Amino acid sequence: MTTDQPQSDGAPSETYSEFETRVKRIANVSNAAGILQWDQEVVMPDEGTPARAQQLSTLSSISHELLTADETGALLEELESATLSDEQAAVVREVRRRYDRETSVPQELVEEISETTANAHPKWKQAKENDDFEAFAPTLEKLVELKREYATHIDPDADPYEVLFSDYEPYIDLETAEGVLERLRDELVPLIDAIGDSDAALETDAFAGTFEDDDQEALARDVLDSLGYNWNRGRLDTAPHPFSSGTQFDARVTTRFEEDDLLGSITSTIHEFGHANYTLGLPDEGYGTPLGEARDLSVHESQSRLWENHIGRSRPFWEQFLPVARERFPSLEGVTPEAAYEAANQVHDDNLIRVEADELTYHLHIVIRFEIERDLISGDLAVEDVPEVWNDKYEEYLGVRPETDAEGCLQDIHWSHGSFGYFPTYSLGSVLAAQLYAAAEADLGDLDSDIREGNLDDLNGWLREQIHQHGKQYTTQALIERATGEELTADHFLEYVETKYGELYDLEA
């Protein structure tokens, strides 16, 4: 039973406070580890790894021990039969979920997975470099088995893939996710075909040329300024694989610069801004409990993609931002906002690489991975058959066939981490981004003129109010329904891309 107000009856309140102290302790250890990881990616000297690995492993086992201690279990039980406020009940729900999962998997299995993935990473890297899938296959086989076993410990009666998926997305059921992915596949394949057949000639060379790193960095700071990034609680650095991390007090962005890819650095910076901006919108007073933590991967990805795609790849954004970019790069003088917009939205239907994909083909890359990993975990697909199935699916959905496994099934790092079930959250993020953006425009009116004026306060205020400030108080589906009045749906995404790309590529309605 829950009520709107915290109860003041002594015992449970004291219990809750003991519980909260424990939860905050775990969060502080994890957040400390987050800083160590940021440090490792961004500033740590090359040879710091051996010590860093031990530090991270120690923090990870301390936080595991604190979470799975008998005291945590006893406190949870006591609180579950107490009268709690909605907020307290949400904290208990979230910690219970993690407690149940972490206590159900034997420590030896956790360690075996951890060791296997640690060794898998260099093997995958080597196999990719040598285009040698067979060298990686036994490791992949082992990881599939271990993660299947892991899932069985968590819920012996459930579909193991569903259990794995729920590690990344606990509150969207797999059936919903699968429905979304199937719709994306069924509707995007013909749309991309139509684009391939279109005679429309997009201007694609707006950002051709070379661009100095230092100037790109200055421009990345301009981008973050214009989006309203809070520098008092953030910073920008470079990392080989851009990411953002941190807490509501300190959410940092990384990006990377390649001299021939200015557009890539801008969109990547905006993407990471979206993540960091979500983190910065979490309530200060929730720091250390799930109330101050982001909802899971799909919601996080909805924020990065809303900013990257709905803002950063929009026409009014380029109307506003191109003059700023021209100040850093006078060579952009002759580029029109329309040309920049077209360059930012070109569909590459012959691209084989997920991370280089456009807004449309991206989801077919995801669908392919999802279908393969689901069948790997169920046992319907043997590891040895992955390359052929991969290539067949690329041919079927995208009309291109990888000539090597390096640019085929070995391209992504995820499986070498044992991360099966992660990929779908990327597409769910895009779908949710469109749904949220539509809801924001329904509430606030058309946002184009705000974007054109570089005034994103209203949109950001809406996101703060509807999403960010709630942390993990609501489950994902409840959060989505509160914010948009609907369950998660691909409708808005499909409408968005059909309108946008229909116009860009001059397709018949």
Three-state DSSP class for 253? strand
- For residue 28, the minimal CB distance to a second copy (Å) is 4
Residues forming a β-bridge with 247 = 250
Q: Which amino acid is at 312?
A: G
399: left (phi over 0), alpha (psi -120 to 50) or beta: left
> 190 and 502 in contact (C-beta within 8 Å)?
no
Rounded Cα distance between 144 and 375, Å, is 11
Residues forming a β-bridge with 255 = 238
272 is annotated as an active-site residue: yes
- For residue 119, the minimal CB distance to a second copy (Å) is 21
Per annotation, catalytic residue among 162, 272, 342, 371: 272
Q: Quick one: CA dihedral 189, 194, 196, 201, positive or negative?
A: negative
Q: Residue 121, annotated ligand binder?
A: no
List of residues 6+ apart from 473 with CB closer than 8 A: 86, 87, 90, 290, 291
- For residue 247, the minimal CB distance to a second copy (Å) is 5
Q: Which is nearer to a second copy, 38 or 474 (CB)?
A: 38
Rounded Cα distance between 475 and 467, Å, is 11
Q: Which is nearer to a second copy, 206 or 253 (CB)?
A: 253
Q: Would you list the DSSP string of 259-303?
A: TT-HHHHHHHHHHHHHHHHHHHHS-GGGTTSGGGS---HHHHHHH
- For residue 252, the minimal CB distance to a second copy (Å) is 8
Q: What is the CA radius of gyration of the chain?
A: 23
Q: Residue 300, annotated ligand binder?
A: no
Q: Which is nearer to a second copy, 96 or 235 (CB)?
A: 235
Q: Which is nearer to a second copy, 24 or 452 (CB)?
A: 24
Helix, strand and coil percent figures for the chain, each rounded to 5: 70, 5, 30
Q: Which is nearer to a second copy, 250 or 342 (CB)?
A: 250
Structure tokens at 122: 């260099």
Q: Residue 87, annotated ligand binder?
A: no
- For residue 66, the minimal CB distance to a second copy (Å) is 9
Half-sphere exposure of 476 toward its Cβ, with a 13 Å CA cutoff?
24
Q: Which is nearer to a second copy, 31 or 166 (CB)?
A: 31
List of residues 6+ apart from 479 with CB closer than 8 A: 295, 299, 467, 470
- For residue 286, the minimal CB distance to a second copy (Å) is 12
Binding site for a second copy (CB under 8 A): 24-25, 28-29, 31-33, 35-36, 39, 43-52, 54-55, 57-59, 62, 231-235, 247-250, 252, 284, 287-288
- For residue 49, the minimal CB distance to a second copy (Å) is 7
Q: Would you list the DSSP string of 60-127?
A: HHHHHHHHHSHHHHHHHHHHHTS-EEHHHHHHHHHHHHHHHHHHHS-HHHHHHHHHHHHHHHHHHHHH
Q: Which is nearer to a second copy, 8 or 232 (CB)?
A: 232
Residues forming a β-bridge with 238 = 255
Per the annotation, binding residues are 271, 275, 301
Query: Which residues does the annotation mark as catalytic?
Result: 272
Per the annotation, binding residues for Zn(2+) are 271, 275, 301
